[in-house]
Amino acid sequence: MGIKSRTGKKLFILDTNVLMHDPTAIFRFAEHDIFLPMVVLEELDRGKKGMSEVARNVRQVILVSKDINLRIKAAIVGLPAEDYHNDQALEDMDLLYSGQAELDADFWDSHSKDMASWQEGDQPFEAIVRRKEDDDAIIEWIRDYRSSRHSVWGISTLNREQNFALNLLMDPNIDFVSLLGTAGTGKTLLTLAAGLSQVMDTNRYREIVMTRVTVPVGEDIGFLPGTEEEKMTPWMGALTDNLEVLTQSSGGDWGRAATDDLLRSKIRIHSLNFMRGRTFLNKYIILDEAQNLTPKQMKTLITRADPGTKIVCLGNVAQIDTPYLTETTSGLTYVVDRFKNWPHSGHITLTRGERSRLADHASEVL
């Protein structure tokens, strides 16, 4: 039986006798989808015993499902079951691109003998690889934002990874930035400071657009009244918290309120549910909690960008709340892996927490 969709793609529900006749039938429907009811699996289980041709065919059927509960049920009744692996961006998270590499200790001793610019000292340096071809590479010395003289909206970086991240965020030649890290590594604060600097000071972008997936950690709080932006406000606690840090001033309560109102006029909060069909021109887009997006959702968002738009994805793949998504199938993992060789993108994994000793200790022991 086939159910036709608007796109011409069909959903076929296979009866037990079809699989008993041909166990490879599930591969015979080209681009269409296959559905196997639970009753079919139970009938296959009952028919797998014996030495007949039908029993042999039944034993060749393997259940493939993202639902771990269904795989457990299949294992109980003796039916082979496997997870669906084709959507995995990586087989092992240890292979995920970190965005940085440290040269060997003897690198300059081995390679710089004929380089006059490196004869006068061995001072460590940090640089971005702009282009790499075979054994040749073009690198650019990055700016040191750890100095208060080079702070961005009053924010200075506290470690090497943060310095790399802020350089990528402030670079007009980088259109896509992804930042991974646990809570307290400074992802949102650095991103927001860089965005405000380029919107308010240099006018490189017209406004900041912030969005995220609305996946509750606990029970759903239910219907939220108001406009789209008002509905999204409870989900944007990270924005509110970091704005408080960035708007600390000596102008008293009135000065802080005026500054806060000015900044909020340049920041738009949108729901990810209404992104399809949109086009963003000269916008600085922040996608928070990006680990909860599927690769398809990530593609939907990134393809909304017009010239002059920068997209920043923030997340922690160790904290995924979306059902059926894992570290290896997350849309954030997917884009980090697919964009790693594009010269107009940058990625950094932040490893050091800079929030407080309590938060750092909790991240390590809990």
* Averaged pLDDT, 249-264: 63
72 and 151 housed in the same domain:
no
* Averaged pLDDT, 241-267: 69
Q: What is the pLDDT of residue 7?
A: 61
- Mean pLDDT of all residues in the chain? 80
Tens digits of residue pLDDT in 67-103:
778 788 888 877 788 777 666 766 666 778 888 877 7
Task: Tell whether 346 is covered by a domain.
Answer: yes
247 and 147 housed in the same domain:
yes
CA separation for the pair 294, 351 (Å, rounded): 24
CA separation for the pair 316, 289 (Å, rounded): 7
7 and 149 housed in the same domain:
no
Task: Tell whether 87 is covered by a domain.
Answer: no
Q: What is the pLDDT of residue 14?
A: 83
* Averaged pLDDT, 205-214: 88
Q: For residue 194, give Cα distances in angstroms to 35, 190, 283.
A: 48, 6, 13
In the DSSP assignment, the letter for residue 291 is G
| pLDDT at residue 249 greater than cutoff 70 | no
56 and 118 housed in the same domain:
no
99 and 157 housed in the same domain:
yes
Per-residue confidence at 366, pLDDT binned at 50, 70, 90?
A: confident
* Averaged pLDDT, 138-165: 88
| pLDDT at residue 347 greater than cutoff 80 | yes
8 and 120 housed in the same domain:
no
Task: Tell me which of 121-130, 208-217, 355-364 is least confident.
Answer: 121-130
Contacts of 93 (CB under 8 A, 6+ apart): 317, 327, 328, 333
Per-residue confidence at 114, pLDDT binned at 50, 70, 90?
A: low
> 335: how many CB neighbours lie within 10 A of its CB?
25
CA separation for the pair 305, 278 (Å, rounded): 9
Tens digits of residue pLDDT in 37-62:
888 888 877 877 776 666 777 666 67
Per-residue confidence at 231, pLDDT binned at 50, 70, 90?
A: low
141 and 203 housed in the same domain:
yes
Task: Tell whether 88 is covered by a domain.
Answer: no
**The Cα angle at residue 213 between residues 189 and 226, in degrees rounded to 5:** 95
Tens digits of residue pLDDT in 288-319:
999 999 888 899 889 989 989 999 999 998 88
27 and 126 housed in the same domain:
no
Tens digits of residue pLDDT in 319-346:
888 877 888 889 999 999 999 989 899 9
| Spatial contact of 157 and 163, defined as CB atoms under 8 Å apart | yes
220 and 75 housed in the same domain:
no
Per-residue confidence at 6, pLDDT binned at 50, 70, 90?
A: low
Task: Tell whether 201 is covered by a domain.
Answer: yes
Structure tokens at 24: 């490879």
Q: What is the pLDDT of residue 221?
A: 53
Q: Express as a percent the part of the chain with pLDDT over 70.
A: 79
Cα 169 versus chain centre, distance: 16
Q: Which of 82, 113, 129 finishes a domain?
A: 82
Domain that holds residue 161: 93-365
* Averaged pLDDT, 143-148: 88
Q: Which of 59, 82, 105 finishes a domain?
A: 82
Task: Tell whether 295 is covered by a domain.
Answer: yes
- Provide the domain count of the chain: 2
Q: What is the pLDDT of residue 336?
A: 93
